[in-house]
Structure 1
Amino acid sequence: MSAEHRLKPVANADHLYEVERRARHAERPGFRISELQLSPTQTVPWHYHTNISDTFYVLAGEMRLFLQKPKEEVRLSVGQSYVAVAGRPHLVTNVGTGSLTFLVLQGVGEYDYVPLV
Structure 2
Amino acid sequence: MKAERKLEAVKDASHLYEVERRARHAERPGFRISELQLSPSQTVPWHFHTHISDTFYVLEGEMRLFLQNPKQDVRLGVGDSFVAAAGRPHLVTNAGKNSMTFLILQGVGEYDYVPLV
Which bracket does the TM-score occupy, shorter chain normalised? over 0.9
Q: Which runs of 5+ in 2 are unaligned?
A: none
Separation (CA, whole Å) in 1 of partners of 2:110 and 2:7: 18
Higher helix share goes to which structure? 1
Identity level (%)? 78
Deviation at 1:112, TM superposition (A): 0.1
1:11 maps to 2:17 = no
Q: Which position in structure 2 is the counterpart of 1:55? A: 55
Q: How many residues align?
A: 115
**Structure 1 segments (4+ residues) deviating >3 Å:** none
- Aligned ranges 1:11-90 → 2 under 5 Å: 11-90=11-90
Q: Which runs of 5+ in 1 are unaligned?
A: none
Separation (CA, whole Å) in 2 of partners of 1:51 and 1:112: 8
- Considering only aligned residues, what root-mean-square deviation do their CA atoms show, in Å? 0.8
1:43-73 Cα distance to aligned partner (Å, 9 max, x none): 0000000000000000000000000000000
Calculate the TM-score normalised by the size of structure 1. Answer: 0.96
Calculate the TM-score normalised by the size of structure 2. Answer: 0.96
Q: Which position in structure 2 is the counterpart of 1:102? A: 102
Opposite residue 13 of structure 1, the aligned amino acid is A
